[in-house]
């Protein structure tokens, strides 16, 4: 009982801290990205659906719509609470469940404004990261969990994305939350089934909202059993083979939910003809965003399709032009870590891993695995969706925070705290097993 009360108290406290920061950019963290103006063109696809649903009787089954002749007109029309003069055509690249969700929310008496919808999305994102923090603390290590939380609420990219009605970052986190439940209930068959159903639903919801970042979202969820094995010292998984079986289960559920969503999307796209819809999606969406032939698409996409994947990765490694972390509580409590801090962190972590390897430290393999897994998760989209990533450098830097940057901070802070313990150790005190020997 006491543990449950303490858990609820932690959730309440963390939510009280994070909701104003993620929903309202309270500390100016996302000012360098334009905050409320970030990705208005994408968000307008949702607002066009909200406007259509609110003022028209003959509505489209698609969740995302493009307003013509002015794509941004729904902002002003909804502010004025009027139908406006826009015509709407469907945005065909995804089902767009976010449009249906926020149309439903807009019909509620308490949330009939764009500002309220954005606050709702930001608050859901805050709740998702709070639950992720509590869950990670349970299945891995509290230090990593709380570093993840602090990194999230001070990331310009995550704070800018949090209230956005199109990107809805809370949906990125849902599969990982369900994977944490699956890990916690791995030894309880009935609850394990419940968690697997929740995981399937979480993946389906995310994929129905959009296919962006599909590899990062899937791999982040699938990494939970391995993360638990590495950091929880066998509490949930006693050996690598069993942890890998659960990883395979998570990936299988992701593939199953993706197939289901793709069938529904193809039926819409092909107007009932699923095979025609699949062909259309593959040619006009998949190839355009990944490795299609450049001469098959307009010039705006050609350069991205000709670019080498390593060149795309280099853009995201070297071309930081925003802060890595920032918050403004007023002088002297104002922090702006520039993008160059990303490389300083990477170099510091590499030095720590080499130092520990040279000293035969027990944490060497742990750090190497965490570094490799987190890098693969964050960078996977840069390789798979090479075309999309080459063009969308104003969006995709957010992937480094899921979860590569938190892992970098974790290794550095863990190393510094370990060094502090060695410095304050009293004479004659024996070294703990995880110290240098």
Any idea where the domains of the chain sit in the sequence?
Answer: 1-120, 121-418
Residue for token digits 């190393």?
A: 415
Question: Given this model, what pLDDT does residue 303 score?
Answer: 86
Query: Rounded to whole angstroms, how far apart are CA atoms 137 and 51?
Result: 41
Q: Three-state DSSP class for 140?
A: coil
Query: Rounded to whole angstroms, how far apart are CA atoms 228 and 243?
Result: 9
Query: Rounded to whole angstroms, how far apart are CA atoms 67 and 69?
Result: 6
Question: Given this model, what pLDDT does residue 425 score?
Answer: 61
- Better-predicted residue by pLDDT, 228 or 436: 228
Q: What is the largest CA-CA distance in the chain?
A: 81
Tell me how far CA of residue 409 lies from CA of 149, 151, 221, 403, in angstroms. Answer: 12, 9, 20, 10
* For residue 429, pLDDT beyond 60: no
Cβ burial, residue 330 (10 Å; 0-12/13-18/19+)? exposed
Please state, as a whole number, how many other Cβ atoms lie within 10 Å of the Cβ of residue 294. 15
Q: Using the Cα atoms of residue 363, residue 365, residue 370 and residue 371 in order, give the sign of their dihedral.
A: positive
Query: Rounded to whole angstroms, how far apart are CA atoms 347 and 337?
Result: 16
Q: Which of 35-39, 57-61, 294-298 has the lowest mean pLDDT?
A: 294-298
Question: Given this model, what pLDDT does residue 33 score?
Answer: 85
Cβ burial, residue 423 (10 Å; 0-12/13-18/19+)? exposed
Rounded mean pLDDT of the chain? 91
Tokens of 139: 């299945």
pLDDT tens profile 195-237: 999 999 999 999 999 999 999 999 999 999 999 999 987 788 8
pTM of this structure = 0.93
Tokens of 204: 């389906």
pLDDT tens profile 241-267: 999 999 999 999 999 999 999 999 999
- Better-predicted residue by pLDDT, 93 or 36: 93
Query: Rounded to whole angstroms, how far apart are CA atoms 166 and 163?
Result: 9
282: which DSSP letter? I
- Better-predicted residue by pLDDT, 152 or 59: 152
Asked if 325 and 340 count as a contact pair (C-beta separation under 8 A), the reply is no
Q: What is 332-377 written as a DSSP string?
A: TSEEEE-THHHHHHHHHHHHHHHHHHHTT-TTHHHHHHHHHHHHHH
List Cβ neighbours of 97 (8 Å cut-off, separation of 6 or more): 63, 205, 208, 209
Share of the chain above pLDDT 90, in %: 76
* For residue 26, pLDDT beyond 70: yes
What is the distance, to the nearest Å, from the Cα of residue 126 to the centroid of all Cα atoms in its chain?
12
Cβ burial, residue 97 (10 Å; 0-12/13-18/19+)? buried
Asked if 274 and 263 count as a contact pair (C-beta separation under 8 A), the reply is yes
* For residue 436, pLDDT beyond 80: no
Q: Determine the average pLDDT of the residues in 377-394.
A: 94
* For residue 433, pLDDT beyond 60: no
Question: Given this model, what pLDDT does residue 212 score?
Answer: 96
- Better-predicted residue by pLDDT, 198 or 336: 198
Q: Using the Cα atoms of residue 149, residue 242, residue 189 and residue 219 in order, give the sign of their dihedral.
A: positive
């Amino acid at each position: 009982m006491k543990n449950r009360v303490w858990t609820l108290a932690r959730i309440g406290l963390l939510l009280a801290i994070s909701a104003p920061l993620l929903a309202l950019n309270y500390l100016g963290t996302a000012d360098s990205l334009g905050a409320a103006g970030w990705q208005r063109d994408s968000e307008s696809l949702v607002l066009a659906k909200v406007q259509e649903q609110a003022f028209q009787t003959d509505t489209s089954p698609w969740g995302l719509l493009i307003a013509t002749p002015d794509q941004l007109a729904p902002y002003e029309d909804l502010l004025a609470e009027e139908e406006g003069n826009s015509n709407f055509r469907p945005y065909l690249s995804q089902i767009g469940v976010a449009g249906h969700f926020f149309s439903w929310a807009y019909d509620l008496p308490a949330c009939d404004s764009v500002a309220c919808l954005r606050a709702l999305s930001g608050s859901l994102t805050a709740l998702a990261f709070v639950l992720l923090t509590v869950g990670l603390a349970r299945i891995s290590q509290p230090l990593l969990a709380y570093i993840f939380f602090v990194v999230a609420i001070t990331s310009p990219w995550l704070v800018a994305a949090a209230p956005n009605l199109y990107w809805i970052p809370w949906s990125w986190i849902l599969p990982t939350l369900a994977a944490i439940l699956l890990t916690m209930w791995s030894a309880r068959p009935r609850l394990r089934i419940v968690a697997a159903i929740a995981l399937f639903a979480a993946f389906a919801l995310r994929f129905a909202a959009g296919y962006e970042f599909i590899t990062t979202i899937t791999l982040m969820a699938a990494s939970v059993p391995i993360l638990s094995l590495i950091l929880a010292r066998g509490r949930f998984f006693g050996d690598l083979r069993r942890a890998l079986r659960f990883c395979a289960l998570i990936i299988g559920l992701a593939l199953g939910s993706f197939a289901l969503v793709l069938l529904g999307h193809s039926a819409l796209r092909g107007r009932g003809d699923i095979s025609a819809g699949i062909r259309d999606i593959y040619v006009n969406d998949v190839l355009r965003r990944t490795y299609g032939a450049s001469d098959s698409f307009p010039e705006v996409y050609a350069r991205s399709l000709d670019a080498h994947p390593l060149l795309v990765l280099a853009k995201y490694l070297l071309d930081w032009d925003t802060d890595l972390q920032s918050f403004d509580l007023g002088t002297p409590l104002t922090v702006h870590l520039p993008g160059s801090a990303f490389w300083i962190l990477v170099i510091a972590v590499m030095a720590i891993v080499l130092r520990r390897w040279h000293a035969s430290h027990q944490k060497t393999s742990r750090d190497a695995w965490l570094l490799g897994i987190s890098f693969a998760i964050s960078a996977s989209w840069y390789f798979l969706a090479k075309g999309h990533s080459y063009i969308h450098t104003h969006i995709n830097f957010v992937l480094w925070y899921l979860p590569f940057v938190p892992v970098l901070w974790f290794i550095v802070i863990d190393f510094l705290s370990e060094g502090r313990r060695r410095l304050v150790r009293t004479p004659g005190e024996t070294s703990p097993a995880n110290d240098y020997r």
